[in-house]
Amino acid sequence: MLSYLWARLFTLFVSLVLSSLIIFILIEAVPGDPASFMLGINATDETIEALRKELGLEEKILNRYFNWLIGMLSGDFGVSYTYRVPVQDLILERLIVSLPLTILSLTLAIFIAFPAGMIAAQFQGKKIDFSIMAASQVGIAIPNFWFAMILVLIFAIHLRWFSAGGFYGWDSGIVLGLKSLTLPAISLALPQASILSRVIRSSILNTLTEDYIRTARAKGLSQRKIISKHAFKNALIPVLTILGLQFSFLLAGAIIIENVFFLPGLGRLIFQAITQRDLIVVESVVMLLVFSVILVNFIVDLLYLIVDPRLRK
Amino acid sequence: MTLLKLKNLSLTIQDKPILKSINLEIKNGEVYGLLGESGCGKSMTAAAITQLLPKFSKLGGKVSFDNNNFIGKSDLEMCKIRGNQIAMIFQEPMTALNPLQTIGNQIAESLLIHKKCSPAKAIKKAGEALGRVGLDATKISPNLYPHQLSGGQRQRVMIAMAIILRPKLLIADEPTTALDVKTQSEILNLLQDLVTKDKVSLLLITHDIAVIAKLATKVAIMKDGELLDSGSTSTVFERLSHPYTRQILSDSIPQKLNLSLINTKKLLEVKSVSKTYQRKFGVNIFNKFNLPILKNISFSINDGECLGLVGESGCGKSTLARSILGLETLESGSITLSGFPISLNQKTKRNVRSRIQIVFQDPFSSFNPRHQIAKIISEPFNLLDKKLDKKIKTNLLLETILNVGLTKDDLIKYPHQFSGGQRQRIALARAIIIKPKLIILDEALSALDVSLRNNMILLLQKLSLNYKLSYLFISHDIHLVKAITNRVLIMQEGTIVEFGKTQEILNGPKHPYTRSLIDSTPSIPESWFKRLEDQNIA
Amino acid sequence: MKNISLTKKIKQFPYIFWFGLIITIFIFFVSFISIIWTPYDITVLNIQDKLIPPGNTLHLLGTDHFGRDIASMIMLGAKTSLLVAFTATFLGIVLGVPLGLVAASRAGDPLDDIIMRGNDLIFAFPALVIAILITAILGPSITNAIIAIGIFNIPVFARITRGAALSVFTLDFILAARVCGKNHIQICIEHVLPNIMSILIVQSTIQFSLGILAESGLSYVGLGTQPPMASWGRMLADSQTMISFAPHLALAPGISIIVTVLAINIMGDGLRDYLDPKLRKKSA
């Protein structure tokens, strides 16, 4: 068990170092140098020189990389060039929108997908299975931002139940805050729930062909008990894997959906930063996104440990 | 008292008849053997009794258990009987237990669903059940998971699970087929004990007459979904009134392999070969441990002989075979064929490697399912130094396929169009096409039904004459080794414990390991063969 | 004789597969046509005909706020989508499959570990993030979209190839081929690839449809296809502000995406059911 844990921790560490290196090198590779790139063609030599100093571009590349890393570890992500505020403050301000959105839609997806997938598996080949599978097939095919637009058209423009976009802010109360996240979360959850329910169904059906299921039948367990006591937990292992992989889709989806609803989240921040050529913000936000994907997969690895005793040697 | 009675039981699956009018009666406390080759419908009989049938099955006739007809009962009603009054044991000990639950919980589960019982008490009873199947509670705790147990121990856990509620009928479907000889005899003894102690009836399903001979008091013989012969075991096999009974009994005596070309010239020499496996542990590349797999192995194979190699699974047989084929790096020692060295790191010359070929155990995974037989058989041409003329190739292909008893038309077929026995012939064809000196038969006859085995042995004999072949016969089956080989190696945990003339070693083993192997191999009583001989003479 | 076996083969596929296949072929056909002909030239603006609702005899799907014919834009958008998705899938196969094969043939070696950890690392960069990084540096373009989606596809194919190849490598006929002196490359090409081909084909259809979704998403946020090239995603982005009074602008490209992705997925599912005998048995 310890060796598994150490191996995972080691992988986590190496992945973080390597991914930060990749991001750093890519940002370094901009045409010209970062300072002149950020200022555009109209910049004078003096302003470029000033920015170079501010960014520390005079230093050696390796030093800069380590300074960046050490800075991030101590919570200092640098100063945004366009906003003139520390990047960590910007990120934090946006994270309180993006993080609840992601968690909300993930929860929603799980709560839809598990019952749907399990029902489809239990009634395999029946009408209800067919309907759930057909619905999920369509759910996968719908682009989430288009679904978001249709939700806006129906619930905001026609029914006027929700506002078409924007965020009230948590200061105006949790209810209002959650209300402005409802449509975004639903549109994000739809494709996730569709994929997940298919994975859950097929994973349970696969598990049901195992020899130990036959053993359970011979013991006199009913089909329902077999699914809940034997198939479900065993089917969870591949589902966990997919859940971890899906997280990166969820993040990407959140960035796009924030644009549909004009939510002031990380997605909006990064697109503004791209148009304003604020490389420091881009670099930090991308690092944060990649970090969260790696972290989630690490957590999934730890969950395996709870589910599967074979790893606990 | 009759416990189970099958009356005119018939079964069709998707309108294909599987069982045809089966009639049998099992009394309280008796061991009833159901004997038949693979695919004859014996497992389906068990499935029909417990009503655990695949989709689209149609049952006819009567299954009465304790004067209670099962046919037409709902699944929920059957759930109350399964595990409670009828329990089952299956063949695959490695996969038949849920890997994510402790063995204690899995054994206790039957108690919890059928009886009112607190979980704590159920676990305690599970511990007692483990004791009853001979698993020492101080060593095997109910909190262990299946992956922490050996195959034999898992099979005991399966049995504990089956007997915890003291069912009236135990159905064991090939309970020992996947186990090593020694574990097999232990499990059979355990089943015998349980039957005598608990007065439980046992329906023993097997393909092995020796297992029937050891355990069953009554027997039914099945072929193509029909019961051909039944009665008390000794009567059935001593009278031999049914021709099929006579046939399977005579088939179960392995054909002797007559090797007339043996001389003392050494063909293959293995000199103090050692190998350790570097096994990786988990995902970490730094964590490795060394597992000695071959320890100082030395022996030789003479020209024209058939050398046996006997040992349990995991003793290093397969590694040794791969080393001889030049597919493993050796740590020390040397292997030479007619004086030319074989090893991976010395880039063994192709013409040396072309002298050795192999036939595997599993006739189903031996061939690329997407290749035609012609392409499969001609793969060894790759080992020849110069490319053969197309015409010569076609002639060789034809000659070879005819030599193994198949036809010209078979060359353009695909593997899935052949039966298991035919596939082993194809495997032999692939092995002999470039006229090697030595063929390794890695459990090559083990997966075959006995009725096909003797024909294969005759084929091996013919080929050894035609092609001047020597064989290395790897097997766990003492009877087969006795019939086929002239010298034998006994291997245990990577070392050779005995080496010499087959008759001398197997009739008077010196090493305790060899002796225990021989003692635990079930055999068919001599008295059964007597009648067979008498009939043959008459 | 041959005809009989052909109809038998056709019958082995579920009906829904043919449904998906016909729609897919139709979409490919339309996008090929768009190279040489579209009903209207979409680079010409025609303000007096703006926002015509669908059902018009001259403009079947209506026009947008510049008076451009929606049907023509959908046709050209199909071409863009298929081009991006196809190239990105191709990139993923060409780079991912060999990586997966090497990893599988060296299973247990450090090389396998390195390849698979590298895969995990690339996997931590969602296509959108790659596109963001590239766009931040080079500016937005359709090539960026292809590269971003293609890079994302590499670990997908590497992983699926390795997994499938590993189970083939344990079979005896691989050992038999080694006994016959075949080297790793020969074994991979002759024995492993043909036996994992069906899995790869099915995965390609999945990645292809994902590519179409990804292209539309990237173009929607302005990281993909740039004007004057037509793209379904861009059409959706343009339609957003007008959705309350001209919903047809959002419906046409949206439904095009859904139908295309659905058709390809259905086809892929049917193909998998046919190619994977294990699944066929299960459904029987």
How many angstroms separate the CA atoms of A179 and B482, rounded?
A: 82
Instruction: Give just the sign of the alpha carbon dihedral C68, C71, C76, C78.
Output: positive
Count of Cβ atoms closer than 10 Å to residue C34 Cβ: 20
For residue B315, give Cα distances in angstroms to B310, B320, B348, B457, B510: 9, 10, 26, 25, 19
For residue B180, give Cα distances in angstroms to B145, B158, B187, B313: 22, 17, 10, 7
Q: Taking a C-beta distance cutoff of 8 angstroms, is the pair B222, B209 a contact? A: no
Query: In this structure, what token pair is assigned to residue A14?
Result: 């190496």
Strand partners, B10: B60
Nearest to A194 by CA among A138, A244, A255: A138
3-state secondary structure chain C: CHHHHHHHHHHHCCHHHHHHHHHHHHHHHHHHHHHHCCCCCCCCCCHHHCCCCCCCCCCCCCECCCCCEHHHHHHHHHHHHHHHHHHHHHHHHHHHHHHHHHHHHCCCCHHHHHHHHHHHHHHCCCHHHHHHHHHHHHCCCHHHHHHHHHHHHHHHHHHHHHHHHHHHHCCHHHHHHHHCCCCHHHHHHHHHHHHHHHHHHHHHHHHHHHHHHHHHHHHHCCCCCCCCCCCHHHHHHHHHHHCCCCCHHHHHHHHHHHHHHHHHHHHHHHHHHHHCHHHHHHHC
For chain C, the structural domain boundaries read: 62-283
* Positions of chain C with pLDDT lower than 70, given as ranges: 1-10, 276-284
Kindly report, residue by residue over C125-175, the tens digit of the pLDDT: 888 888 888 888 888 889 989 999 999 999 999 999 999 999 899 899 999
What DSSP assignment string belongs to B156-212? HHHHHHHHTT--SEEEEESTTTTS-HHHHHHHHHHHHHHHHHH--EEEEEES-HHHH
* Helix or strand (DSSP H, E) at B33: strand B31-35
Q: What is the pLDDT of residue C283?
A: 35
One-letter amino acid of A107: T
Across the interface, whether the CB atoms of A217 and B158 are under 8 A apart is answered no
How many angstroms separate the CA atoms of B144 and B358, rounded?
A: 40
CATH number of A94-312: 1.10.3720.10
Q: Does A149 touch chain C (CB under 8 A)?
A: yes
* Helix or strand (DSSP H, E) at B273: strand B266-280
- Count of all residues that appear for chain A in the document: 313
DSSP-derived secondary structure letter, A171: G
- Please list every residue in chain B whose beta carbon sits closer than 8 Å to the beta carbon of residue A6: 284
Query: In this structure, what token pair is assigned to residue B407?
Result: 């036809």
Count of Cβ atoms closer than 10 Å to residue C277 Cβ: 12
> A263, A274, A280, A287: which to substitute to probe chain C, counting the most C Cβ within 10 Å?
A274
CA distance C93 to chain A (A): 19
- Annotate B337-370 with b (16+ C-beta within 10 A) or e (fewer): beeeebbeeeebeeebbbbbbbbbbbbebbbbee
Q: Does A310 touch chain B (CB under 8 A)?
A: yes
- Count of all residues that appear for chain B in the document: 538
Across the interface, whether the CB atoms of B370 and C172 are under 8 A apart is answered no
* Positions of chain A with pLDDT lower than 50, given as ranges: none
For chain A, the structural domain boundaries read: 12-73, 94-312
How many angstroms separate the CA atoms of B508 and B487, rounded?
A: 14
Across the interface, whether the CB atoms of B365 and C195 are under 8 A apart is answered no
Q: What is the pLDDT of residue B281?
A: 45
Q: Does A51 touch chain C (CB under 8 A)?
A: no
Secondary structure of residue A160 in the 3-state scheme = coil
Nearest to B223 by CA among B247, B202, B241: B247
Q: Does A216 touch chain B (CB under 8 A)?
A: yes
One-letter amino acid of B280: K
What DSSP assignment string belongs to B103-148? HHHHHHHHHHHHS---HHHHHHHHHHHHHHTT--TTTS-TT--GGG
Q: What is the pLDDT of residue A140?
A: 93
φ/ψ of residue B3, rounded to 5: -95, -50
Query: In this structure, what token pair is assigned to residue B485?
Result: 């080989």
- Please list every residue in chain C whose beta carbon sits closer than 8 Å to the beta carbon of residue A137: 262, 265-266, 269
Homologous superfamily of the C62-283 domain (CATH): MetI-like (1.10.3720.10)
Angle between helices A144-151 and C193-220 (to 10 degrees): 40
- Please list every residue in chain A whose beta carbon sits closer than 8 Å to the beta carbon of residue C17: none
* Helix or strand (DSSP H, E) at B531: helix B526-537
What's the distance, Cα to Cα, between the start and end of chain B in Å?
41
Residue of B nearest to A125 (CA): B55
Q: What is the pLDDT of residue C276?
A: 64
What's the burial of B147, exposed, middle or buried (CB within 10 Å: 0-12/13-18/19+)?
Answer: middle
CA distance C256 to chain A (A): 10
CA atoms within a 13 Å half-sphere pointing along the CA-CB vector of A187: 28
> Residue B109: CB partners within 8 Å, gap ≥ 6?
A216, A219, A221, A229, B161
Q: What is the pLDDT along chain B (538 residues), one digit of tens a residue?
A: 789 999 999 999 888 889 999 999 999 889 999 999 888 888 899 999 998 888 888 888 889 998 888 888 888 888 989 989 999 998 888 889 999 999 999 999 989 989 888 889 999 899 989 988 888 877 888 889 998 888 889 999 999 999 898 899 999 999 888 888 888 888 999 999 999 888 899 999 999 999 999 999 999 999 998 999 999 998 998 888 899 998 888 888 888 888 777 788 889 999 989 888 765 544 444 445 566 788 899 999 998 899 999 988 878 888 899 889 888 888 888 898 888 888 665 565 677 888 899 999 888 889 998 899 999 999 999 888 778 888 999 999 999 999 999 999 999 999 988 888 899 999 999 999 999 999 999 988 888 888 888 889 999 999 988 888 999 999 988 889 999 999 999 999 889 999 999 999 999 899 999 999 998 888 888 888 887 787 777 6
Chain centre to alpha carbon of residue B35:
15
Nearest to C127 by CA among C156, C101, C99: C156
Q: What is the pLDDT of residue A32?
A: 64
How many angstroms separate the CA atoms of B249 and B451, rounded?
A: 10
How many angstroms separate the CA atoms of C258 and C209, rounded?
A: 10
Instruction: Give just the sign of the alpha carbon dihedral B75, B77, B79, B81.
Output: negative
Secondary structure of residue B4 in the 3-state scheme = strand
Nearest to C69 by CA among C32, C39, C27, C47: C39
How many angstroms separate the CA atoms of A284 and A273, rounded?
A: 11
Across the interface, whether the CB atoms of C194 and B370 are under 8 A apart is answered yes
Match 């890695």 to its residue by tokens: B442
Q: Taking a contact as any Cβ pair under 8 Å apart, which residues of chain A between 186 and 205 contact chain C?
A: 205
Give the full edge-to-edge strand order of the sheet including B57-65. Answer: B16-27, B2-13, B57-65
Q: Of A218, A222, A234, which has the smallest distance from its Cβ to B52's Cβ?
A: A218
Across the interface, whether the CB atoms of C126 and A293 are under 8 A apart is answered yes
How many angstroms separate the CA atoms of A262 and B452, rounded?
A: 75
- Single pTM value for the model: 0.87
- Residue pairs between chains A and C whose CB atoms are closer than 8 Å: 130
Q: What is the pLDDT of residue C263?
A: 95
Query: In this structure, what token pair is assigned to residue C63?
Result: 């026009």
Nearest to B492 by CA among B254, B246, B180, B242: B180
What's the distance, Cα to Cα, between the start and end of chain C in Å?
27
CA distance C180 to chain B (A): 5
